[in-house]
Structure formats: structure tokens, C-alpha cells
Structure 1
Amino acid sequence: MKLATLRSPSSRDGNLVIVSRDLRHAVRVPDIAATLQQALDDWSRTEALLRSRAEALEAGTLEDAFDFDPAAAAAPLPRAYQWCDGSAYLSHAELVRRARNAEMPQSLYHDPLIYQGGGDRMAGPRDPILIADEAWGIDLEAEIAVITDDVPMGVSADEAARHILLVTILNDVSLRNLIPSELAKGFGFFQSKPATAFAAVAVTPDELGDAWDGRKLALPLRSWVNDRWLGEPNGGHDMNFDFAALIAHAAKSRELGAGTIVGSGTVSNRDRAVGSSCLAEVRMLETIDSGKPETQFLRFGDRVKIDMTDVAGASIFGTIEQTVVRYEPAG
């Protein structure tokens, strides 16, 4: 089952729709749940109703079905009660720390790193990357994420896996030149993490077939900048902490509410032939090879594309396509 949120002039949380597997058609379901958050809050009731409507959509028997336009989609959860992002691929963590002359803490090899991001305003798959200053070091980060139901405090990793309801992909934009001074304060990211953009569609794990093992997604996550291939690391390879481990870590001392989004961090493989999911990795590899980076961070007008396809080559979540745009204050 594939779910999305269409923008609505009357609600910041948009309108929930079911999307066909080929991403071509959709149907609104206000009689089941007005928003995705409402559906997640009452998943024990809404799941079966949504699945039944999804089957009817696939069968072509719904008169109120319409063409699905990803440009009209918001993030699946335009406002998330909780957005926490991990650093599950240590090959990425090692490189970016080398880039800022920082040590790799030994604790990261056995204890996941997670930061709490801003969930008040998520960007949709076609929204611009709004940044005020190019000098901040604008970078994409292609990631995978899961969305949970209510997770109890102290949940084990095995139990945590059963709380994963939906899977999607995202672009967790980073401002690389703001990160070092923020982290030096010892209090984490804030200004260096602008709005995160999500694919139009979040899917139930059964849509992913054998690529989903209940804890991670073993498919290539592909990225391009200005139509130039950046990389396609496999989400199931070199994931030191799977989603179950990340959820258990996040829930060690708190309950997680339904609709919590948990990100993987930048997908990264140790096989460098598959490329990278962010420019910081590219720059660090260039520095290792030649002593200095050649690739520039994103500039105004640059275009970013992120997608994941199934084994038949069909997009699973819809493509994230964004342009970097200078932010101009209103008025």
C-alpha cells in the first residue's frame, strides 16, 4: 500500500490519499482518515480499511480515482511530531569527520548516533531548497526513513522492528560550513539543518518484497546533481545500525509517538565504486586522492534528484526533484 499527502489550502497537514503501485492514480479517503497522522494514530482500525480501498484502486473500480501529480504532493507527514535522524552508515561518518579534522569516537561503533531534527515543516518532493547564503556549504543527503506507530519506552530491537509501519526516502539537506561551529558548542545541529524534503509516497513494508528484511531496505538509492550521477549505494549494505536498532536507541528513555520518523543518515557503502549520497563524501575522497576537494557544494540554480527503483526499474516512492533557490524574506 502506498500513501501520500496532497497539499490543501485549508490544512497544513494536507489530505491523505492512497496511490496506485505505478504512482499514476490516487484516491482521497476522508471517510477513513483525513490526514496520514490521523491514520497512524488509529492504525489498528484504519489499516484494513485503507488496504481494502487500495485494492479497489488497483482494480480500477473506483469512480473517484484521479491522476496522481507528485508536484501537488507535500511530504507524507508535512508536520511530524518527531523527526530523528541517525548515522547508521559508519563509512559516511568516518569520511565527514575526516573532512572537518574530527576524531571518530569509538562509542559510535557500538552505540548509534541520533539527533532530533525539526519536524514542524517538512518539504515536499518538488519543493525548492530555500537557502539564504551559498557560503553556508549547501549539501544534499540521500537517506531512507521509517515511520512508526506508538513505541514503548525501553523496547528491544526485535520488538522495535514490529513498530515500523511505513518506509520512504528523503533529502536531509545539510549546511556543511555551519556544522563545525555548531558541534563545537557541544549541543548538536540546529542552524546547519534546514527543511528536510521527502518523497511523495510512503509505503507499507510489504510493497518492498524481498528487498525489505524487516529491519533494512536492500536497494540502491540513486542521486544526481544537475543530471550528473552522484551515486547509488545500497541501503542494505554496510548499515551498521539497522532501523530496529535506531528505534530501540531512540526509545531507551522515552516513548515514541505514532508518526515518529526515524532516518538512516546518509546512505553510504564502503565500495566507493557505487558513488556517494552527498557532496561532503565526494569532497573528502577527492582530498584523500589529490590533497584538496574539486567538487563544489550546491549553488543557487543547481538541481538535485533522488530516487529508488524496484528490481523492474519502477520508482517506488516517486522521485525527489529539487532546485536550490535563494531565500527572499516576504514583504
Structure 2
Amino acid sequence: MKLASYADGSRDGHLVVVSRDLSQAHYATGIATRLQQVLDDWGFIAPQLEDLAVQLNHGKLRHAFPFDPDKCVAPLPRASGWAVVARGGSVRRDAGLFAGPHQPLRAPARPEAALAAIAGDLAAASDTASALDALRLLTLAVDWRLDDELIATQAAPLAVTPDELGEAWRTGRVQARLHVLHNGAKQPVQDIDAQPGAALARVARLRALRAGQVVGTALDLPDLPDLPLAAGDSLHLDLKTADGASLFGAIDLDIAPDAP
């Protein structure tokens, strides 16, 4: 299933289920109003959302409406924590506050993209297989750093269960392609191969993870940090399948222009 959180004036947004083709959505009211509720009681609530998703995909919900990613905040705006596992295995931790996919920045910053795994409860010292069992949802996230200081983390509009990734999900690996537009100009497409289960296990090596923890696998994208971002620029990031289908929806960043 595909889930998103619509802005409603609250800190967490309102949970919606999104159709497989991203054309329709339906509020999850009556089942859950925010994603953290689902993660806290996954075994009971997730099957109900799956049923709602099936009905939505078959056009059987009378109150469905067109999905609009511009109305989305991050799927899980206030996570239990945010940790990124670098290629060499080092772990960087943060509080876990996620901005929405279209929130502007006030100054140019360096982007660091990651495949983000949203976890259920996971015991300390769990192995990769156990970590995959605790994997609930995946999305795309980008840390924005200015002089090595984290100034914001953005998340794509959709958080999806691994089964929704189709051929992009194979034996616990996500294999996809990151498409980037800089001021509307296409940048080289970059292949990614990430193992979210291994990243979850790495972060849980010394301590248990609580439902709602988000763990990113840093994407080794040598061209991305070198983009000459400046005031007034825009950047569009979208992780897609080999045939061009968007996995999580796009992150669109606008950097505020210089004051006159």
C-alpha cells in the first residue's frame, strides 16, 4: 500500500491511502488519522488499510478524491528518530523531524539523499533477517547541510510497503534510478542499490529501535553534492523504477532568492 499525510494544520498531518497509480486518495479516518498510530499497532491496523487500498485501486470508494502531492507533509513528520548509515558503516543520528516534499530552503545547502526505512519495534542486536521483518515502509529522504550542519531533512510525499515496489524490490534490496532536475535541466541518472534491512540492523546493533524510527541508507551519488546550488535555484529529486514509474513521489526544493 501507499500512504501519505495531508497537511491539516496539525503537526502530523492526516493519513491518506493513495492508489497504486497515484491518481486517487482516500482519508484513512475511522482506521487511523496519523501514521504513527499505524506503526504502533501495525498487526491490527495495517490489514485494514490494505483493504482500503484494494478498494481504492478498484475504484470502489465513493469518497475518493484526486491525489495532490502539493498537499502533503512528510509521511511521518515526527519520527522516533532519524539515523543515516554511510557507505563505510558509520552512523549519523538526528532527532527525526521531517519537512514536507515541497518546503523551501532559506539558503543554498548540500543535498545528501538516502533511502529511508520506517521501522516497527526492533530488538537490540537483531540480524538483517529480523530487521527486514520489522521493516514497515520505505520512502526517499534528503538531508540538507550547510557547512556540515544539518539544516533540514525532507521526505518524499509517499511511504510505501516494499511489495508495492515491484521489480525494484528484490531479496531485500531496492534497485532503482534517481532522476534529478536542476533548474529544470536533467542531470545524469544515477543507479542506486540499497539494503534497508542491513541499515536497520546496523543501527539496532547496540540498542532497540522503537516503532517510528527511520533509518536511511546513504545513496552513493557522486554527482549530487557537486551541483552548484545558489539562491533562487530549484532541485527536483525522484526515485524511479527502470521503466520510469515514481516510487515515492518527488521532492521539489526551491531555494529562496537573494533579498533585493
* Corresponding residue number in structure 2 for 1:38: 37
Which structure shows the higher helix fraction?
A: 1
- Return the alpha-carbon distance in structure 2 between the equivalents of residues 204 and 251 of structure 1: 21
Q: Secondary structure at the match of 2:31?
A: coil
- Return the alpha-carbon distance in structure 2 between the equivalents of residues 117 and 152 of structure 1: 20
Correspondence 1:4 to 2:12: no
Which of 1 and 2 has greater Rg?
1
Q: Secondary structure at the match of 1:17?
A: strand
What one-letter code is carried by the residue in structure 2 that aligns with 1:168?
A: T
> Does the 8 A contact of 2:177 with 2:242 survive in 1?
no
Residue 118 of structure 1 and its aligned partner are, at CA, apart by: 3.1
* Corresponding residue number in structure 1 for 2:91: 114
- Return the alpha-carbon distance in structure 2 between the equivalents of residues 145 and 17 of structure 1: 19
Q: 2:150 aligns with which of 174, 193, 199?
A: 193
What one-letter code is carried by the residue in structure 1 that aligns with 2:143?
A: D
Correspondence 1:278 to 2:225: yes
Residue 142 of structure 1 and its aligned partner are, at CA, apart by: 2.6
What one-letter code is carried by the residue in structure 2 that aligns with 1:316?
A: L
Residue 127 of structure 1 and its aligned partner are, at CA, apart by: 1.1
What one-letter code is carried by the residue in structure 1 that aligns with 2:206?
A: S
* Corresponding residue number in structure 1 for 2:116: 145
Unaligned runs of 5+ in 2: none
What one-letter code is carried by the residue in structure 2 that aligns with 1:276?
A: D
Q: How does 1:1-331 map to 2 (within 5 A)?
A: 1-9=1-9, 11-88=10-87, 108=88, 112-120=89-97, 122-131=98-107, 134=108, 138-175=109-146, 178-179=147-148, 192-236=149-193, 242-268=195-221, 276-279=223-226, 296=228, 298-325=229-256
* Corresponding residue number in structure 2 for 1:289: none
Residue 319 of structure 1 and its aligned partner are, at CA, apart by: 1.3
Which structure shows the higher strand fraction?
A: 2
- Return the alpha-carbon distance in structure 2 between the equivalents of residues 65 and 36 of structure 1: 19
- Return the alpha-carbon distance in structure 2 between the equivalents of residues 327 and 155 of structure 1: 48
> Does the 8 A contact of 1:6 with 1:74 survive in 2?
yes
Residue 310 of structure 1 and its aligned partner are, at CA, apart by: 2.6
1:302–1:77 Cα change, 3 Å: same
What one-letter code is carried by the residue in structure 2 that aligns with 1:171?
A: V
> Does the 8 A contact of 1:25 with 1:68 survive in 2?
yes
- Return the alpha-carbon distance in structure 1 between the equivalents of residues 239 and 2 of structure 2: 14
- Return the alpha-carbon distance in structure 1 between the equivalents of residues 74 and 106 of structure 2: 16
What TM-score, normalized by structure 2, do the two folds share?
0.93
* Corresponding residue number in structure 2 for 1:188: none
Residue 172 of structure 1 and its aligned partner are, at CA, apart by: 1.5
Unaligned runs of 5+ in 1: 89-107, 180-191, 269-274, 280-294
Q: Secondary structure at the match of 2:37?
A: helix
> Does the 8 A contact of 2:115 with 2:196 survive in 1?
no
- Return the alpha-carbon distance in structure 1 between the equivalents of residues 134 and 106 of structure 2: 33
- Return the alpha-carbon distance in structure 1 between the equivalents of residues 63 and 50 of structure 2: 16
Q: RMSD of the TM alignment (CA)?
A: 1.8
Residue 20 of structure 1 and its aligned partner are, at CA, apart by: 0.7
Residue 115 of structure 1 and its aligned partner are, at CA, apart by: 0.6
Residue 163 of structure 1 and its aligned partner are, at CA, apart by: 1.2
- Return the alpha-carbon distance in structure 2 between the equivalents of residues 155 and 322 of structure 1: 36
> Does the 8 A contact of 2:117 with 2:196 survive in 1?
yes
What one-letter code is carried by the residue in structure 2 that aligns with 1:317?
A: F
- Return the alpha-carbon distance in structure 2 between the equivalents of residues 326 and 301 of structure 1: 4
Q: Secondary structure at the match of 1:32?
A: coil
1:125–1:224 Cα change, 3 Å: same
- Return the alpha-carbon distance in structure 2 between the equivalents of residues 44 and 114 of structure 1: 29
Residue 326 of structure 1 and its aligned partner are, at CA, apart by: 6.2
Q: Secondary structure at the match of 1:13?
A: coil
What TM-score, normalized by structure 1, do the two folds share?
0.74
Quick one: percent identity of the two aligned structures? 35
Structure 1 ranges of 4+ moved more than 3 A: none
Q: Secondary structure at the match of 1:264?
A: strand
What one-letter code is carried by the residue in structure 1 that aligns with 2:91?
A: I
